[in-house]
Amino acid sequence: MELKFEGLKNMISFDGTEELVPVLEKVLKGWKFKPAKNNASKNPIIRIRRGPTGYERTSPWLNGGKMVLANPVDAVCDLLLDIERAFIADSGKLLALHAAAVELDGGLSVFPSTHNAGKSTLGVLLAARGARLFADDVTPLDPQQGNGLFMGVAPGFLPRLRLPLPDDLAPEGADFINSHAGPKSENFLYINLNETQLASLGQSAPVNRIILLERKKDAAAEIITVKKSEILKHTIMQSLNQDVSAIEILDNLNGMVAGCECLRLTYGRSEDAAKLLMSTFANEK
């Protein structure tokens, strides 16, 4: 079976793996797709087939190799990476930043990825407090050439938390996550968010703040201003575009950083970080 996704130029082939489609339907928000009419594409952009040890995926982003995963939820988790890459590549204008993005006060606060900083958990807890999550892992960026704006674009995926969940989750946060649990494997748990908590595919908002996350055990939540040069270094390191020149990436990211408030958030517990962000930027008491 081949599926045609609105927004993608090429088909995605599910070769004997049709059971993955219902999982996709649960984790995508705002995406439209349907079986291809002639089902005869010679070169689907992504192909998933059943192999002897699990679901085998091939795509241009695997550099001629293949990814094999045994669990259907894990296979869909990994497939979403390629779907987003295809969406960004087919747009002809979007950049990709390994970062979470949350709308707090009419604009997006972007959190570039840092090892074990908990950006996905933080994004979900912010959504629980009334913010709107745009992305929890990779944020597409539209440079909006000519008007000085950089827009974050929602990829339309439910947020995904790595399991096991942090031991220090407060009861309120744990209750929200458990009551909004979606598809799950031993490794990951998707969180069902509604349209006020999660932006759908293609919705956009201006990026007005970039926040580096620094998680330290038992640290009190604190926000400080940092130099734009430090933010630029981190965003360059988290750029995922493979088909864009280094000069173009640098020029675009430098322009985005120049127009943003640049901060670092140090924290120990995710709930404390979410509460501080909401009280500082969304007037939550």
Residues 217 and 185 in one domain: yes
Give dist(CA 240, CA 211) in Å, integer: 18
Which residues are paired to 262 by β-bridges?
A: 210
Q: How many CB atoms lie within 10 A of CB 59?
A: 22
Residues 175 and 39 in one domain: no
Give dist(CA 236, CA 244) in Å, integer: 13
CB 184 within 8 A of CB 177: no
Which residues are paired to 101 by β-bridges?
A: 110, 135
Q: Are strands 67-69 and 54-58 parallel, antiparallel or unpaired?
A: antiparallel
Residues 263 and 189 in one domain: yes
Residues 134 and 206 in one domain: yes
Residues 31 and 77 in one domain: yes
Mapped onto helix, strand or coil, the DSSP state of residue 169 is coil
Task: Give the count of domains, the chain.
Answer: 2
pLDDT surpasses 90 at 225:
yes
Q: For 246-269, what is each residue's pLDDT tens digit?
A: 888 889 899 999 999 999 999 999
Residues 144 and 86 in one domain: no
CA nearest neighbour of 46 among 95, 93, 4, 6: 4
Average pLDDT of 162-171? 90
Residues 135 and 225 in one domain: yes
Q: Answer with the one of 76, 91, 106 that is the final residue of a domain.
A: 91
Give dist(CA 22, CA 28) in Å, integer: 10
Domain at 115, CATH number: 3.40.50
Residues 127 and 237 in one domain: yes
Give dist(CA 280, CA 285) in Å, integer: 9
Residues 213 and 265 in one domain: yes
Q: Is the pTM of this model over 0.75?
A: yes
pLDDT surpasses 70 at 16:
yes
Q: Which domain holds residue 6?
A: 2-91
Q: Answer with the one of 35, 59, 91 that is the final residue of a domain.
A: 91
Residues 130 and 267 in one domain: yes
pLDDT of residue 36: 84
CB 270 within 8 A of CB 165: no
Q: Answer with the one of 29, 61, 91 that is the final residue of a domain.
A: 91
